[in-house]
Amino acid sequence: MTSTIISTKDVAALLRKELRSRFPGVKFSVRCATGTASAWINVSYDDGPTHQQVQAITGRFEGRSFNGQTDSYDDNGSTLVAGSADELPTEVRYSCDGIIITRNYTATGHLAAQRVIREDSNMRHLVLCDEHGALNDRHRDLTDGQAAEFNAGGRAWPYPNLSAWETVRFVLERVDLTPTPARQ
């Protein structure tokens, strides 16, 4: 069995290809960090799949994981990659130390959050955005200190204040906004 070490740059290329095939219609930005963080990759995208869905894919490409308790990295080991039927699998080690995922929301995401609030929350009167999806004063407190009572999708907001920006992220954390051929 042969062993191969895949550089962070090549990991980024593999990751980009995998994300495109798993979530067609979503544009991902996959960039290698620079300087002392050069073994890290940044992935960002608008709307699309949930953070957990993307994490399930990116986690397979991390060669090491940062351990906050020891302030060091833990080795994630190697992966066996199968080739053709008549070949032995190749042992692959990814040289990527970590992948940071950033999910941004566009006007489409803001409108989706507004729909969820109107359909499945105890504060249906909250208005996050206008009819075009522009957020109403992103950081102004929408709840006047009453957010401890806010719940949507069976989850409660555990803090006393809630802004439009926080509401979108809280509500859409588990909502897949990946475009499908029927939605496009």
Statement to judge: residues 111 and 41 lie in one domain: no
Bin 47: left if φ > 0, else alpha if -120 < ψ < 50, else beta: left
Q: How far apart are CA 29 and CA 43, in angstroms?
A: 6
Amino acid at the residue 150: F
Check if the beta carbon of residue 95 is closer than 8 Å to that of residue 5.
yes
80 vs 146, higher pLDDT: 80
Residue 49 confidence (pLDDT)? 97
Q: What percent of the chain has pLDDT over 90?
A: 55
Residue 177 confidence (pLDDT)? 94
pLDDT at 167 over 50: yes
Residue 145 confidence (pLDDT)? 60
Give domain status of residue 70, yes or no.
yes
pLDDT at 181 over 90: no
Residue 79 confidence (pLDDT)? 85
Among the candidates 104, 129, 152, a domain finishes at 104
pLDDT at 105 over 80: yes
Among the candidates 61, 76, 104, a domain finishes at 104
Statement to judge: residues 96 and 9 lie in one domain: yes
Q: From 45, 50, 36, select the one nearest 15 (Cα to Cα).
A: 45
Give domain status of residue 13, yes or no.
yes
Give domain status of residue 180, yes or no.
no
pLDDT at 54 over 90: yes
Q: How far apart are CA 22 and CA 148, in angstroms?
A: 37
User: Could you report the per-residue pLDDT of 13-43, keeping only the tens digit for each?
Assistant: 999 999 999 999 999 999 999 998 899 999 9
Q: Give one DSSP letter per residue of 166-177, joined into a string.
A: HHHHHHHTT--B
Statement to judge: residues 92 and 111 lie in one domain: no
Q: How much of the chain is helix, strand and coil, in % rounded to 5?
A: 30, 25, 45
Statement to judge: residues 98 and 124 lie in one domain: no
pLDDT band, very low/low/confident/very high, at 63 (cuts 50, 70, 90): very high
Q: How many domains does the chain have?
A: 2
Residue 183 confidence (pLDDT)? 46
Residue 62 confidence (pLDDT)? 94
Domain that holds residue 141: 107-172
Amino acid at the residue 9: K
pLDDT band, very low/low/confident/very high, at 48 (cuts 50, 70, 90): very high
Residue 156 confidence (pLDDT)? 84
User: Could you report the per-residue pLDDT of 68-93, keeping only the tens digit for each?
Assistant: 999 999 999 888 887 777 878 889 99
Name the CA dihedral angle for 121, 126, 46, 166, rounded to a multiple of 10 degrees.
-90
Give domain status of residue 94, yes or no.
yes
Q: Enumerate residues 6+ apart whose C-beta is below 8 A from 53.
A: 23, 176
pLDDT at 106 over 60: yes
pLDDT at 1 over 70: no
Among the candidates 77, 104, 131, a domain finishes at 104
